[in-house]
Amino acid sequence: MSSEQDYEWKGRTGPFTLRLTPRVFQPSPTSRVLADAIEVRPGETVIDVGCGSGVLSFVAARLDAGMVYGTDISDEAVRVASENAQRLHLADRTEFRAGSLLAPLDGVVADVVIGDVSGIPDEVAAVAGWFPDGHAGGPTGAEIPLAMLEEVGDHLKPGGRMYLPTGTIQDERTILAKARRIFGTLEEVAEREFPLPALVARSKAVARLMAQGVVNLRRRGSRLLWRLAIWRCERS
């Protein structure tokens, strides 16, 4: 298609080229930090929830995963990820299925779950334009991650690991409280701070969510910063 464009991934296991369309989520700074944080052992089965273009699935496959299953609510993302797998000669170890969160993976149990799902409040996402397919994280940015956590127990082996990104730009406390109830102790394996784009930082949506205590941003000079954390959650 004429609207397709190439994206050069220069993060872990790269460089490699992805083909994207305007309605498929482009790899983000979160993708790069998460790629650096995940541990995949040879032969392990991996689930990539909210796979988008397939980038983290391909990282996992290049780390010698035995099989990687990616899911996305967007049919177009699943098509694009499948085509990217063919181009990267990884179609034999990756499979992409359309549907919400873990629902398309009935019967699949993994050693590793990569839980990089939409976690930005809907109003903030609308201002930022970060989600071209329109699927953000719910009113507080916690709703979709919480739904994923509800489902993960059926798809993670005992001793398996889930890598969960959270940010202070969402209702992080509620997500972490839920994850601790499910997994017990969480281990923070990576963190980064990022500036909000000026347009987003000045928005009424951000001011309201800050006043409500939903988001917790740090001011540095004239800029607002949000903190990303990656948590390693091990199932007992």
Per-residue pLDDT, 133:
65
Report yes or no: 24 and 84 within 8 Å, Cβ to Cβ.
no
Q: How confident is the model at residue 195 (pLDDT cuts 50, 70, 90)?
A: very high
Q: What percent of the chain has pLDDT over 90?
A: 91
Report which secondary-structure segment, H or E, holds 127.
Answer: helix 122-128
For 149, the 3-state DSSP assignment is: helix
pTM to 2 decimals? Answer: 0.95
Report yes or no: 53 and 14 within 8 Å, Cβ to Cβ.
no
Q: Looking at domain 5-195+228-234, which CATH architecture does it have?
A: 3-Layer(aba) Sandwich (3.40)
Q: What percent of the chain has pLDDT over 70?
A: 97
Report yes or no: 189 and 37 within 8 Å, Cβ to Cβ.
yes
Report yes or no: 128 and 120 within 8 Å, Cβ to Cβ.
yes
| Model pLDDT for residues 16-60, shown as the tens digit of each residue | 999 999 999 899 999 999 999 999 999 999 999 999 999 999 999
| Model pLDDT for residues 127-178, shown as the tens digit of each residue | 987 776 666 889 999 999 999 999 999 999 999 999 999 999 999 999 999 9
Q: Which of 173, 123, 169 is nearest to 146 (CA)?
A: 173
